[in-house]
Amino acid sequence: MIDKYGRTIDYLRISLTDRCNLRCVYCMPEEGIRQIPHTEILTYDEIMRICRCMADLGIRKIKLTGGEPLVRKDCAQLTAILKALPGIEKVTLTTNGILLREQLEALMEAGIDAVNISLDTLDPNLFQQITRRDCLDQVLDGLKAALSYPQLSVKLNCVPVIKQKENFVAMAGLAKQYPLHVRFIEMMPIGYGKQFPFQDEESIKGVLKDAYGPLIPVTERFGNGPCHYYTIEGFQGKIGFISAVTHKFCKQCNRVRLTAEGFLKGCLQFQKGTDLRKLLRGGCTDEELTEAIRQVIWNKPVSHNFYETETTQDETRVMSQIGG
C-alpha cells in the first residue's frame, strides 16, 4: 500500500479496548472515561476480516494496543489468528505489564513476536503518583517473565513525565542490566497529554552521557516504528528515542491506526478516517471494505503539525480511546 506521498504503509496498530487498569495522569482522569459499550467494540471476527483485507493490500506487521489490551479476554487467541493470516509477518503487543506474567505463556504459544512494556519510573511512590495505582511489583514481575524467553524481543516505553535526572538514569540503567531496549517517548499533545510539557531528547541524552558515557548512534532497525537508537559501552540493550515533535519523522511514517470502535485513522493528530465497523455491520463485501481501507491509506495526511496550528480536524478523543 502506497499513499499519495509515496510512503509504503505496512504497519497496523489495533486498539483492542479503551479500558485500562491504570489511570495515568497524562492519559485519563482519575475516575476514568466513559467506556465504550461492548456492543460497539469490534469483535475478533471483525478484526480478523479487516486484517485479512489489509494483509492482501500489503500490511505485514500488527501491533495490539489499548487501553490495556490484556484486559480484553482471549488476547492470545486473537494473536494466534492474526499470526496465521497469509502475509502477516509479525504480531506484537504494547502493555502496561500488570497482567503480562499470567498471560505470557499463552501469548508465546500463540506466536507473539515482541512485547513493549510501558513503564515511566522504578520508584514505587512516583509510579503510584503517575498511574494512581499501587502495582509496580506486578509490572516488574511481568518484565522478568518476558525476559525469561530469550527469543522474545522486549522493550520498555518510558514517557519522561518525571523530570528528575535520577529517573532517566535509573530507567536507562535497565538496558545495562538486562538485554532489552529502553525508549524515551516524547509526550504527545493529545488529550490529557496537552497538560504536560514534553522533555526534549537532547537534554535526556546529556544526562545519560554524564552518567554512562557517550551515546553512539546505530543504524540498525529494532522494530516497526520510528525509534532511533544509541548504544552505550557495557550495555546489553540499546537506548532509543521516539521524538515525534522535536525530531519529526512523518516522511518515514508507515502506519495506520484502528480504534477499538473500528475507525481507521491515517494520522494520530487528525479525526480524518473511515468507520469500518459501520461498513462491516452494514453488510459490505470484502471488495468494498478493501476499497475503503485503500482510500484511508491514499489520503493519509502528509504530516502532523503539533504546536504549529490548531484545526477543526484535530482529534478530540484521548489516547486510550484512539489506541496508544
Does 309 have pLDDT greater than 60? no
Dist. CA 208–CA 202, nearest whole Å: 10
From the list 228, 195, 225, the residue with the least C-alpha distance to 25 is: 195
3-state percent helix, strand, coil for the chain, nearest multiple of 5: 35, 20, 45
pLDDT of residue 314: 58
Dist. CA 173–CA 235, nearest whole Å: 8
Q: Residue 189: how many CB atoms within 10 A of its CB?
A: 18
DSSP calls for 280-299: HHTT--HHHHHHHHHHHHHT
Give, in order, the Cα–Cα distances in Å from 258 to each of 12, 139, 212, 243. 7, 26, 39, 22
Residue 226 vs residue 2, higher pLDDT: 2
The residue behind cell 459501520 is 278
Q: Grid coordinates representing 315?
A: 482529534
Summarised one tens digit per residue, pLDDT across range 272-283 is: 899 999 999 999
Task: Give the pairing of strands 114-118 and 153-158.
Answer: parallel
pLDDT of residue 190: 64
Q: Grid coordinates representing 113?
A: 513476536
Does 246 have pLDDT greater than 80? no
Summarised one tens digit per residue, pLDDT across range 86-108 is: 999 999 999 999 999 999 999 99
Q: What is the DSSP letter of 186?
A: P
CB 26 within 8 A of CB 313: no
Residue 14 vs residue 27, higher pLDDT: 14
pLDDT of residue 189: 60
CB 172 within 8 A of CB 239: yes
pLDDT of residue 92: 98
The residue behind cell 479503551 is 18
CB 189 within 8 A of CB 307: yes
Residue 61 vs residue 224, higher pLDDT: 61
Q: Grid coordinates representing 295?
A: 482510500
For the chain, give the percent of residues with pLDDT over 70.
87
pLDDT of residue 200: 85
- The pTM of this model reads 0.91
Does 239 have pLDDT greater than 70? yes
CB 212 within 8 A of CB 232: yes
Please give the average per-residue pLDDT across 49-59, as a whole number: 97
CB 121 within 8 A of CB 44: no
